[in-house]
């Protein structure tokens, strides 16, 4: 047996992380919250994959960009699984395929100059599978690459995964979006509304059938209820929906991946209700959030009741996207113990740096968010915590957001430094800003219903900020 190694990870663990600091309060010693990050890293396990190779061309695959290789790839995976696992290798060439389903101890390895290109014909993604879409469980189209209830699975290599989505395939199902798809014949809206209604009514997810004819786009990679997952090195492009979507999975590593896809809802990496996750050395240039941590939507998220917790984002680059590191909006199961460090964010098309989005229908919340050593070039809003997303105050489930720590962050250009708005009956609590420099901010911040917003060595537009009134603030209506 051989262990898949995450290249340079041990070196990064030793060199990139800051040394733990102990804070003293009188006679008591208070642990640095970043000590927990070290423990999370140590706990994450990489998959163990046997050292056997199964090359898909040996099973009949042809990399000419025309032949359908779905059966050959399935045969290679079956042969590897029957022997106890191994690497299923996609060699150089362009290999067309339908959905790929992984088994225990399988590494789908895409070699350099290889492209695994998914055929954008929805009927190929039947029969339906148990999946999750925007935080709701149901029976839907298969994700392009799917693993359900598996242990020790990997997708690695220096090649490309192409989802085949474009302005003609998959993306028009979104409906009107950025001035496009206004005349789309079929859209997701009716099924999206009915699926949410089913979930609110308590219909069991096995009885929610939204595959054929529902127009709910599948995610690219989804590992559902899996353990010891590695996604490393590949470039992912032209995704129908979210790119990387681990759900209810434990010990997940996403390392050195390039997410380069600009369609609707093209989030880069969305761990949902996952525990012990490392997202490191990745590049995100996406049509929606770069990273969005989630835990289920509304009643369905509360029914499953599993938080996303113990998640590390390290040494990543965020380019275009709705947000750099985002929590929500589907966070009804809760989010806690999030660590983001040593990242670079910049693009005229990057809307927000760090964002929490929820409302009184989502409920849930975020606790113990720690962010440090972030370099931001151009962004619209640097720090956003917004309870007024979509339904806003219209619901009975008050969010809880508390213990938020921002340290050592430099931003060159922002419109707003902060857009932080809680409810009068659900305050946002305990936000600490330490060593924050914003060279230029052109609009006043928006802050309301926050308790304990603390400033320590904060500078905006060249002036020190020691309390909230030092900031230009938008007058509340």
Q: What is the extent of the structural domain holding 344?
A: 87-171+218-470
Task: Please say if 276 is a catalytic residue.
Answer: no
Residue 64 lies in a domain: no
Nearby residues of 44 by Cβ (< 8 Å), 6 or more positions away: 251, 252, 253, 276, 277, 278
Sign of the CA dihedral running 385, 388, 391, 397: positive
The rounded distance, in Å, linking the Cα atoms of 175 and 35 is 45
- In-domain check, residue 260: yes
CATH number of the domain within which 124 lies: 2.160.20.10
33 contacts: CB under 8 Å, gap ≥ 6: 368, 370, 405
In a domain, 392, yes or no: yes
Q: Which of 267, 322, 407, 419 is catalytic?
A: 322
Residue in the block written with tokens 């508390």: 402
User: Tell me: the pLDDT tens digits for 425-475?
Assistant: 999 999 999 999 999 999 999 999 999 999 999 999 999 999 999 999 997
Is 322 considered catalytic here?
yes
- Residues 467 and 196: their CA atoms lie apart, in Å, by 42
> What whole-number distance in Å separates Cα of residue 282 and Cα of residue 17?
16
Structural domain includes residue 31: no
Task: With respect to residue 312, please indicate whether it lies within any of the assigned structural domains.
Answer: yes
Catalytic-role residue among 104, 267, 288, 300: 288
Segment 57-110, tens digit of pLDDT = 999 999 999 999 999 999 999 999 999 999 999 999 999 999 999 999 999 999
CA dist 278 and 281 (Å) reads: 10
Residue 328: closest CA among 349, 303, 350, 352: 352
Residues in the chain: 477
Residue 234 inside a domain? The answer is yes
The band of 30, judged by pLDDT with boundaries at 50, 70 and 90, is: low
Domain count along the chain: 1
The verdict on residue 34 lying in a domain is no
**Phi and psi at residue 265, in whole multiples of 5°?**
60, 30
| pLDDT, position 383 | 98
Q: pTM of the prediction?
A: 0.93
In a domain, 229, yes or no: yes
């Amino acid at each position: 047996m051989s262990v898949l190694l995450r290249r340079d990870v041990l070196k990064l663990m030793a060199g990139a992380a800051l040394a733990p600091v102990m804070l003293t309060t009188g006679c008591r010693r208070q642990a640095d919250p970043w000590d927990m990050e070290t423990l999370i890293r140590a706990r994450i396990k990489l998959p163990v994959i046997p050292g056997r190779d199964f090359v898909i061309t040996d099973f009949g695959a042809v990399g000419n960009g025309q032949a359908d290789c779905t059966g050959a790839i399935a045969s290679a995976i079956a042969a590897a699984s029957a022997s106890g696992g191994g690497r299923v290798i996609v060699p150089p060439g362009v290999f067309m395929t339908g959905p790929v389903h992984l088994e225990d101890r399988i590494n789908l390895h895409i070699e350099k100059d290889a492209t695994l290109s998914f055929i954008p014909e929805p009927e190929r993604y039947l029969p339906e599978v148990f999946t999750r879409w925007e935080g709701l469980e149901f029976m839907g189209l298969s994700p392009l690459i799917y693993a359900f209830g598996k242990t020790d699975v990997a997708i690695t290599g220096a090649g490309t995964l192409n989802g085949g989505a474009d302005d003609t395939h998959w993306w028009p199902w979104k409906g009107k979006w950025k001035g496009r798809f206004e005349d789309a014949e079929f859209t997701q809206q009716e099924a999206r509304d009915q699926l949410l209604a089913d979930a609110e009514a308590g219909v069991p997810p096995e009885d929610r059938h939204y595959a054929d004819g529902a127009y709910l786009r599948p995610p690219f990679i989804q590992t559902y209820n899996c353990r010891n997952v590695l996604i490393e090195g590949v470039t992912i492009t032209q995704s129908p929906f979210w790119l990387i979507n681990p759900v209810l999975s434990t010990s997940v590593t996403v390392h050195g991946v390039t997410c380069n896809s600009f369609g609707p809802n093209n989030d880069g990496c969305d761990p949902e209700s996952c525990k012990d996750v490392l997202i490191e050395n990745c590049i995100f240039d996406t049509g929606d959030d770069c990273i969005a941590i989630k835990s289920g939507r509304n009643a369905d998220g509360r029914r499953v009741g599993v938080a996303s917790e113990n998640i590390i984002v390290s040494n990543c680059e965020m380019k275009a996207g709705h947000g750099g590191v985002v929590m929500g909006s589907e966070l009804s199961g809760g989010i806690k113990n999030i660590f983001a460090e040593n990242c670079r964010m910049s693009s005229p098309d990057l809307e927000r740096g760090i964002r929490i989005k929820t409302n009184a229908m989502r409920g849930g919340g975020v606790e113990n968010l720690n962010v440090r050593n972030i370099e931001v070039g151009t962004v619209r809003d640097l720090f956003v915590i917004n309870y007024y997303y979509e339904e806003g105050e219209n619901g009975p489930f008050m969010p809880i957001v508390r213990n938020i720590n921002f340290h050592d962050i430099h931003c060159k250009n922002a419109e707003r430094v902060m857009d932080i708005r809680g409810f009068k009956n659900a305050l946002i609590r305990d936000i600490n800003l330490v060593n924050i420099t914003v060279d230029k901010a052109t609009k006043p911040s928006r802050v309301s219903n926050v308790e304990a917003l603390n400033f320590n060595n904060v500078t905006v537009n060249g002036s020190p900020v020691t309390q909230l009134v030092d900031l230009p603030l938008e007058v509340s209506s």
